[in-house]
Structure 1
Amino acid sequence: MVGLFLSEVVLFAVAVLLGFAIGWRIFSWSDARRRRAEDMHISTLRAALSDAQVRRARSS
């Protein structure tokens, strides 16, 4: 009876760890994807800002 209980505890512990590992992997993948998209957006904004500053300096 104790062996059955312990095997069930181990089974649930493995399921919890596996679920955590899969969830963490999905989270880190989506976070990296979001960061890349934000970095691209920031570089686009910086380029647009520098172009606007150059045009403003030329027109002055």
Structure 2
Amino acid sequence: MTPFPWAAAMGFGLGVLRLSARDFWALTPRELASAWGALMGERTGPLGRGDLNILMERFPDGQ
């Protein structure tokens, strides 16, 4: 198993995306990978309705 590429991840998150250290460490590896994909033009398509419903339940508006 290959170890997680922390140096590259930190360089991308802190250097390219210019995230604060707090925001960088709050990301999940999947979120960081998604940002990388978006920057490199890799689109996975729109968010599905089921995933949207999950996000809406976890992060409701107006509270």
Return the TM-score normalized by structure 2.
Answer: 0.21
Higher-Rg structure is: 1
Return the TM-score normalized by structure 1.
Answer: 0.22
